[in-house]
Structure 1
């Protein structure tokens, strides 16, 4: 019997998940099949790798020694898929992903067309939801991966930056600052502000940058908190306040003269968008290809 990656992947998933049943669910296998593959790996090495009890699975000394090699093998396969995806043009299949609100509503729709021209046989099913919902569906194996607007910390999740973005100050067209080519953050803070709800990726980035300038976000004159970028734009257009949104989300309103974007001279609200997926999961090659597309293309030509 030869050592193979499939067995290492199964062993790693059992150890990470803490049970054969959870690993079977994650790998879309039956529990007896998972058990058999782990036993075959133990037979190959001639030693026990897992200590089984009614409540939990623990690593033996040999199993603990094997874990970093199993993890590296998974990472190597991912890197291999990523490299080889550049040479593949006849991919087929359905790609399921989740995207947080700004990404799903304003960023990805402009990128799916160019991606579809390069890979016409891949169909994409995208759910637009908040970060917590995306993580829940990934953990429940309902989505391959997600794209989110702010970093998260979860022991089962792999996270990687895939795109960059910048928030811009927006004001209604009749606002006193509308004709200013550039303003300071102190000037902005003199006016009412409309923001996304607490916990949104957009708001977290804005608040973090303000703190970096020793400005307490609680000092803002927040007149309204809204649950979507579309609602924020409508409120600004109606003259209820100023706000900070992704530049890609207001191109239409700016072109129509309904909203103005203004540069702030002494602060920049730059951020990264991230992909997240299970550490123990191997993404389908179609997903790897899509993520490589986002990381390696000049996306600004479409945004």
Structure 2
């Protein structure tokens, strides 16, 4: 991998990655004293404290953590620019999606990709995992519905979709929260966007997942939907995921007091990416797909 910045900054990033001067030295094929000297020199030039030594390990200061995050972003942009300059920009687009959105939006996008001859490598993970992969440069762009820090990423909002409580047809259509809390809650794992949306709404109304008598965590929305059909509890999800089941009376959306949520879906990428025109084209395809689903 080529490096755009001062070798001392490269050393700082390696210290952050490995957690010690010794491991950083081994990774960079230099001596441990050389690593120490470079960090001291960098601290003097920047007039910043960068590391706190804790035995054999080191901990970054807040200033160093912010600097390392910036340097990692710049390295990703550097590699993207070199790819473009080498006329390799038509390489595969590395696209991520959350599990929920992979079912809603990946099919129309991949259909268009096949039709137009695009090369796309897709990956499905939860919101937290996708954001990490973008930061690391392992993904170019991702479809995300969860909450995230927008100052760290570029975003294109695709639209909003209803986020609703869902249960089997054996349940009353209208329920109180006290009645719902007696039902088993089927919910996605930590890091998923749908779980974050639900917990944020509950917290804003002085509730929490702990108010449910039983919480079952599952990492697959299809499994949750199948359990709901068997009358195994309640869940909260995008209505478009279960629209056919609701129309066919296999499931129903529940009427709960004060719960009216429409959440934005976002196309997320690293700020400053050179592939922004590709992302804008993808966004247009997905916005049309969402519009068609909303009309059904």
Find the aligned partners of 2:268 and 2:233 in 1 and give their Cα distance: 34
Q: Which of the numbers 101, 104, 109 marks the counterpart of 2:102?
A: 104
User: 1:93, 1:121 within 8 Å by CA — same for their partners in 2?
Assistant: no
Q: Name structure 2 gaps, 5 residues minimum.
A: 14-36, 47-73, 75-88
Q: Which of the numbers 205, 223, 229 marks the counterpart of 1:231?
A: 223
Q: Name structure 1 gaps, 5 residues minimum.
A: 1-10, 23-52, 61-73, 75-90
What is residue 137 of structure 1 aligned with on the other side? 133
Residues 236 and 298 (structure 1), Cα distance of their counterparts in 2 relative to 1, 3 Å cut: closer
Matches within 5 A, 1:129-208: 129-153=125-149, 157-163=152-158, 164-173=160-169, 175-177=170-172, 180=173, 182-208=174-200
User: 1:192, 1:221 within 8 Å by CA — same for their partners in 2?
Assistant: yes
Residues 241 and 136 (structure 1), Cα distance of their counterparts in 2 relative to 1, 3 Å cut: same
Find the aligned partners of 1:133 and 1:159 in 2 and give their Cα distance: 17
Per the TM alignment, residue 298 of structure 1 is displaced from its structure 2 partner at its CA by: 6.9
Find the aligned partners of 2:129 and 2:283 in 1 and give their Cα distance: 20
Matches within 5 A, 1:1-303: 14=5, 18-19=9-10, 54-55=38-39, 94-113=92-111, 115-116=112-113, 120-153=116-149, 157-163=152-158, 164-173=160-169, 175-177=170-172, 180=173, 182-283=174-275, 285-294=277-286, 297=288, 299-302=290-293
User: 1:92, 1:286 within 8 Å by CA — same for their partners in 2?
Assistant: no
Aligned residues: 227
CA root-mean-square deviation: 3.8
Residues 116 and 199 (structure 1), Cα distance of their counterparts in 2 relative to 1, 3 Å cut: closer
* TM-score (norm: length of structure 2): 0.62
Per the TM alignment, residue 154 of structure 1 is displaced from its structure 2 partner at its CA by: 8.4
User: 2:187, 2:195 within 8 Å by CA — same for their partners in 1?
Assistant: yes
Per the TM alignment, residue 292 of structure 1 is displaced from its structure 2 partner at its CA by: 4.3
Find the aligned partners of 2:248 and 2:146 in 1 and give their Cα distance: 30
Per the TM alignment, residue 244 of structure 1 is displaced from its structure 2 partner at its CA by: 0.9
* TM-score (norm: length of structure 1): 0.61
Find the aligned partners of 2:12 and 2:278 in 1 and give their Cα distance: 27
User: 2:156, 2:268 within 8 Å by CA — same for their partners in 1?
Assistant: no
Summarize deviations over 1:45-76 as a string: whole Å, max 9, x none: xxxxxxxx94487998xxxxxxxxxxxxx9xx
Summarize deviations over 1:97-141 as a string: whole Å, max 9, x none: 11111111233324544x559x72434332111233323432333
Residues 19 and 223 (structure 1), Cα distance of their counterparts in 2 relative to 1, 3 Å cut: closer
Per the TM alignment, residue 21 of structure 1 is displaced from its structure 2 partner at its CA by: 11
